[in-house]
Amino acid sequence: MDWAGWPDTYDRVLLDEVDSTMAEAARRAPTLTTPTWILARSQTAGRGRRGRAWRNPWGNFAATLIYRPDGPPDQVALRSFVAALALYDALSKVVPPAKLSLKWPNDVLLGGGKVAGILLESTGVAGQVNWLSIGIGINLTQAPSMAEVEPGAVPPVAVAEFTTARLRPEGVLFELAVAFDALERSFATYGFEPIRNRWLAHAAKLGETITARVGSDNIVGVFDTVDAAGNLVLRTPRGPKAIAAAEVFF
């Protein structure tokens, strides 16, 4: 394909098959000198949050961006919102934007079903992040069955259910990389607030009652906002509750 317009400060690696793009990013990190996107057309051991398996049949999308971000760990973690918006921008070129929404903390929904997920992993010392890996999986052609996801999870869907366009992972990578580069530049210049506002404009279930599972506890409340630290803020009978990490159920 024609890669003209690819962000010139990013490298890319295209693989037919790999165990996991996240694992491949970790292996390559010591020798990388520039931010690098790693795309695999097939993964044999893909994984999502909390070590869950992420099935990646041929035709779906699996990629990891690995780079050295600026800022302390709490600011680095906000790149999950940057990645979510980049996914929104890339997918909105092929499906109606009104059908896309963003689910805290790191999922993209299409027609109310989960179409993509984001996984962040980092390494560092002395309170500084050396490398950040942002793994992204998109159900382009096929979605897992409900039997493959945990009870109560948002039903999975595939992009192919919403468009007749035949999408190649390489083309999606191009659009995603361009969108991420623009948003990363915005984050570096203006901080998190514009990113936060844009994310909230596309947030799923904002103003509605949801459940956040923290360990073995379920916290039920109205989804009020995402604060300046990226925390989910729920209005509960006991007052506002800011949640840094949780599984969210509708």
Residues 73 and 158 in one domain: yes
Residues 181 and 222 in one domain: no
Average pLDDT score over the chain: 93
**CA terminus-to-terminus distance, the chain:** 40
pLDDT at 198: 98
Sequence-separated (6 or more) residues with CB below 8 Å from residue 197:
none
Is residue 40 included in any domain, yes or no?
Answer: yes
Residues 166 and 56 in one domain: yes
The structural domain count of the chain equals 2
Local confidence band at 52 (pLDDT 50, 70, 90 cut-offs): low
Local confidence band at 58 (pLDDT 50, 70, 90 cut-offs): confident
In which domain, by residue range, is 165 found? 11-201
**What's the pTM?**
0.94
Percent of the chain with pLDDT over 90: 84
pLDDT at 45: 81
Is residue 195 included in any domain, yes or no?
Answer: yes
Q: What is the pLDDT of residues 210-243, one digit of tens each?
A: 999 999 999 999 999 999 999 999 999 999 999 9
Q: Which of 102-111, 145-154, 236-245 has the lowest mean pLDDT?
A: 145-154
Q: Rounded CA gap, 53 and 45, in Å?
A: 7
Q: Rounded CA gap, 219 and 234, in Å?
A: 9
**What CATH number has the domain bearing residue 121?**
3.30.930.10
State the alpha helices, DSSP H only, in the chain: 21-28, 73-76, 79-91, 169-190, 192-201
Q: Rounded CA gap, 152 and 98, in Å?
A: 24
pLDDT of 113 > 80? The answer is yes
At position 8, the amino acid (one-letter code) is D
Q: Which of 80-84, 147-151, 184-188 has the lowest mean pLDDT?
A: 147-151
Residues 139 and 109 in one domain: yes
Local confidence band at 61 (pLDDT 50, 70, 90 cut-offs): very high
3-state secondary structure of 194: helix
Average pLDDT over residues 105-130: 92
At position 200, the amino acid (one-letter code) is L
Is residue 73 within 8 A of residue 122, CB to CB? The reply is yes
Is residue 158 within 8 A of residue 137, CB to CB? The reply is no
pLDDT of 86 > 90? The answer is yes
Residues 74 and 94 in one domain: yes
pLDDT at 166: 87
